Amino acid sequence: MEILAPAGNFETFFAALEKGADAVYVGLKSFNARAYARNFSLEELSYMVPYAHKQGKKVFVALNSVIKEGEIAELIDTAIALGQIKPDALIIQDLGVFFLLKKRFPHLRLHASTLMTAHNLVGVKKLAEMGFKRIVLARELTLEEIAHIRQEVKAELEVFVHGALCFSYSGLCLASSYLGGQSSVRGRCRQPCRFLYRCKGKKGYFLSCGDLCALELIPRLKEMGIDSVKIEGRMKSAEYVAAVVEAYRLVRDANSKELPGAINYARTLLEKAGGRRSSFGFFLSPHPKDVLDPTAPSAFGVFVGRVLKREEDKIYFLPEAEIEIGDRMRAQSESLGKGISWKVKTIEKIDHLMAINAPEAVEPGYLLFRVVSKTTELQKSDKKLKERLKKEVMPIEFKLRSSERKRLKQWVRAQVLSLPQKLPSKPTWWIRHEQVEFFLDRPLPSGSIPVLSLNMHTYPPLMHHVRRLQKRLPLLTLHLPPIILPSQLSFYQQAITQLIQMGFKRWHLSNIGHLYLFPQQKDLTLSVDYTFNLGNHLALRILKGMGIKYLTLSVEMDKITLKEITKFWAPRDLIVMVFGRVPLFTSRLQPNCKECLISPLDERYYPLLRDEVTYILAEEPFSLGQYIDELEGFGIRNFIVDMRFLLNKQIKRIVTTRRVNLPRGFSFNYKREWK
């Protein structure tokens, strides 16, 4: 079983290898889901790969960002270089990146990122069927659920075992993007789940998860045949990575007699590494009680104290834990979770107070944490380690030849399918709701496509009124939820089979695994939801090849990207979501507060539980109502209007028998940059 460690700079790269990691995963300067880490250039990677191979180790490159249409030219250059450098694997989430690499660089090994939300058996099977050699499982799976997947799938499986946990399923969090355009699927998450919220007059970190620590479970994962255990932390220090890697290697390598002692010693290493309060995550239960603790600070590390005052370059606090010169500290804004890190160089004790050096931005009121205790044995200095690397190995040569670049650009452009350019004169409104009664009681505008959420609550009334619905609404489309828990999978498989036999031909899918549920696509009209995170025409191309008729673009998309896509793709098959209360978080966890959550910026969010999945909704829906004419000018004719989670009086103003009247409102990223 492989131990896979993070490396965000040369210090962590060397620390991981020297402490026993079998492989490291790194990010490039662009196109990776940790955009705020230092990351590496292609030239640096050309030294790292041969150095790791010389040590008998592997290097994986996280190319796991969603790619915007305007970034394809840069992606082409990156792909050409990686094709020559040949890292041991590329970790990806974007379907367009997958299509490019699979078709043009078949010698590169591809791993499916956890951002592809592989959270059940059909998701894993579909990704394996597509050609991914390894699938990184969602963190929300239990050991029992993982074991079942392992028994049914031959592809390699990778499991996160240590580090930060997100409140939302990876790939389905819109909160950071919604608040300021900083997209989690593009590596720029600002962690709004770490905010200090108010709920019913109380303050708490209601959405902030503790860290994952599965040290004691390593023997069980090894026994069930998991191929790789992964440590999170490309933005963590070398001291942290070294301690965690050594701890997990000791336990992985211990025999049955050595195991108790190895675990005890490994625990002391992890204590030195620091971290948030830890738990087994979802491994032991689908409803863990210890992942969320609203009373615990959301920051990373051992709590040291609160900054009481500042004088020149020093801060003063009442110490609640020991610190030494050389320790790494982090100061955290209590409400917004913004952090500042530095190393302790001076310590003074004045009566009961302690004074240490601190950056200018650290202010009174900030919480202080010891992130990592000092370590003397590690080699430090990114610059010196980079020079060492260049002295010890010859780089892998790579050249961006203009002829190859030109051929690849021509191939990319040729992936635009030749579709009829004649557009309908009027838009088609896809009107979504989760109540059968809504579609029975309310006449829709002529030509509308009703979209009914299919779940365990809507299925009984759907079956009760099935003939009436089919007669009244021949275009009725059934929408599958983005999360189908493993325990719910058999229900959906049976329901889909039954409903297709009863004549339902139109289906709206929300996860790549849903395609596995429709092996026979003849006579079906399939469409995909915004949760596929589509941002470029190569991603559209691969889904077209899989039998998808209508493609919903990412709801995070900005105007510039949308317009660029319509230049490369006939827009008659594109759908744009123009109205709705989209879930900002989608989680298997159930927060302690089930009422309105108020952020430090006074925004209001509402938890909603559906089939054991929590959705956190913004108070106000977003709306592109003022831009419909402009979107039609780009050729868009299909618009989704999501009526779920709205009051009836709101719906009546928007959907009438004759037309759809969208209000003006918050336009998400449409007018700002999708970062």
If you average pLDDT over every residue of the chain, what do you get? 93
Per-residue HEC secondary structure of 539-577 comes to HHHHHHHCCEEEEECCCCCCHHHHHHHHHHCCHHHEEEE
pLDDT digit string (tens) for 431-452? 999 999 999 988 899 999 999 9
- Residue pair 596/197 in contact by the 8 Å Cβ criterion: no
pLDDT of 276 > 90? The answer is no
Please tell me whether residue 412 adopts helix, strand or coil conformation: helix
Helix or strand run (H / E) with residue 176: helix 175-180
In 584-595, which positions are buried (b, 16+ CB within 10 angstroms) versus exposed (e)? Answer: bbbbbbebebee
Confidence of residue 486 (pLDDT cuts 50, 70, 90): very high
Higher pLDDT, 373 or 431: 431
pLDDT of residue 669: 97
Q: What angle do CA 404, 408, 413 make, to 5 degrees?
A: 150
176-184 contacts at long range (C-beta below 8 A, 24 or more positions apart): 177/556, 177/668, 177/669, 177/674, 178/582, 178/584, 178/618, 178/622, 178/668, 179/601, 179/603, 181/558, 181/669, 181/672, 181/673, 181/674, 181/675, 182/675, 183/66, 183/556, 183/674, 183/675, 184/33
- Residue pair 192/589 in contact by the 8 Å Cβ criterion: no
- Residue pair 455/646 in contact by the 8 Å Cβ criterion: no
* CA 165 and chain centroid, separation: 11
- Residue pair 196/600 in contact by the 8 Å Cβ criterion: yes
Distance CA 313, CA 356 (A): 8
- Residue pair 46/75 in contact by the 8 Å Cβ criterion: no
Distance CA 170, CA 179 (A): 17
> Of 354, 357, 356, 299, which is closest to residue 330 (Cα–Cα)?
299
Higher pLDDT, 369 or 285: 285
pLDDT of residue 422: 78
According to DSSP, the β-strands at 583-587 and 574-580 are unpaired
Do domains 2-165+210-242+385-392 and 421-581+621-654 share one topology? The answer is yes
Cα Rg of the chain (Å, integer): 26
- Residue pair 206/197 in contact by the 8 Å Cβ criterion: yes
Q: Is it true that domain 2-165+210-242+385-392 has CATH number 3.20.20.70?
A: yes
Q: Is it true that domain 302-372 has CATH number 2.60.40.10?
A: no
Helix or strand run (H / E) with residue 249: helix 238-253
pLDDT digit string (tens) for 191-234? 899 999 999 989 999 999 999 999 999 999 999 999 999 999 99
- Residue pair 527/549 in contact by the 8 Å Cβ criterion: yes
Distance CA 320, CA 317 (A): 9
Say whether pTM exceeds 0.95. Answer: no
Q: Is it true that domain 421-581+621-654 has CATH number 3.30.420.10?
A: no
pLDDT of residue 136: 98
pLDDT digit string (tens) for 256-274? 999 999 999 999 999 878 7
Distance CA 270, CA 129 (A): 38
For residue 115, the number of C-alpha atoms closer than 13 Å in the C-beta half-sphere is 26
pLDDT of 10 > 80? The answer is yes
pLDDT of 11 > 70? The answer is yes
Q: Would you state the structure tokens that stand for residue 499, as one six-digit string?
A: 């409903």
pLDDT of residue 570: 84
Class of residue 401 by CB neighbours under 10 A (exposed 0-12, middle 13-18, buried 19+): exposed
pLDDT of residue 303: 85
pLDDT digit string (tens) for 84-122? 999 999 999 999 999 999 999 999 999 999 999 999 999
Q: Would you state the structure tokens that stand for residue 505, as one six-digit string?
A: 């031909």
pLDDT digit string (tens) for 588-616? 999 988 899 999 889 999 999 999 999 99
Distance CA 217, CA 223 (A): 10
Domain boundaries, the chain: 2-165+210-242+385-392, 174-204+583-619, 302-372, 421-581+621-654
Higher pLDDT, 474 or 570: 474
Q: How far is CA 473 from CA 39, 348, 505, in A?
A: 52, 76, 12
Q: Would you state the structure tokens that stand for residue 303, as one six-digit string?
A: 């709590």
Percent of the chain with pLDDT over 90: 81
- The mean pLDDT value for 318-324 works out to 91
Among the listed ranges 29-43, 152-166, 603-617, which one has the minimum average pLDDT value? 29-43
Q: What is the DSSP letter of 28?
A: B
pLDDT of 338 > 70? The answer is no
pLDDT of 617 > 80? The answer is yes
- The mean pLDDT value for 454-464 works out to 96
